[in-house]
Chain A
Amino acid sequence: MAFGAHAGQTAGGVAMERLTTLRRRLREAEVRARNQDYSWADGLLEEAERAERRANERSFMLIRRRQKNNAWFSQVISENFFCLTRHEYMTGAEKALLIDLLSLLELGTNAIVHPDQNRFCTVTEIAELLKRKLRNTRELINKLIEKGIIYEFVDPSQIKEYGRVITERPLYVNPEIAYAGDRNKVNAVMARQVIQYDHIKRNKINLPWKLEYEPNAEYARLIHQKKRRK
Chain B
Amino acid sequence: MRRDSIQRRLIASVLLSQIILTAGLVVIGVLVTYWRLISTLDTSMQAHAISVAVLVRYTEDASGHVYFDNSLLPESIDPNHPDQFTVWADRTGFLTRSEDWPEGLQFQPGPTEHWNFTWAGVPYHALRITHVPVLDREEGAAFRPQTLTIVYASPTVRIRHQVKVAGASIALASLLLLGATTWLASWKIRRGLLPLQILARQAALVSTQSWKLQPPKEAEEIEELRPLTESMTQMLARLEYSFKQQREFVGNAAHELKTPVAVLKSTLQSLLQRPRSSEEYRAGVQASLQDLDRLEQLLQWMLRLARAEQWAQNAQGRNLEVIDINCTCEEAVERIRSLAQSRNTTIHLATNGPVPIRADPEDLQLVWTNLLENAVRYSPEGASVEVAVAHDGDRARISFQDHGFGIAASDLPKIFERFYRGDRSRSRATGGFGLGLPIVKALVEAYGGSIAAESTPGKGTRMTVELPVSR
Are A and B bound to each other?
Answer: no
Q: Which residues of A contact B (CB under 8 A)?
A: none
Q: Which residues of B contact A (CB under 8 A)?
A: none
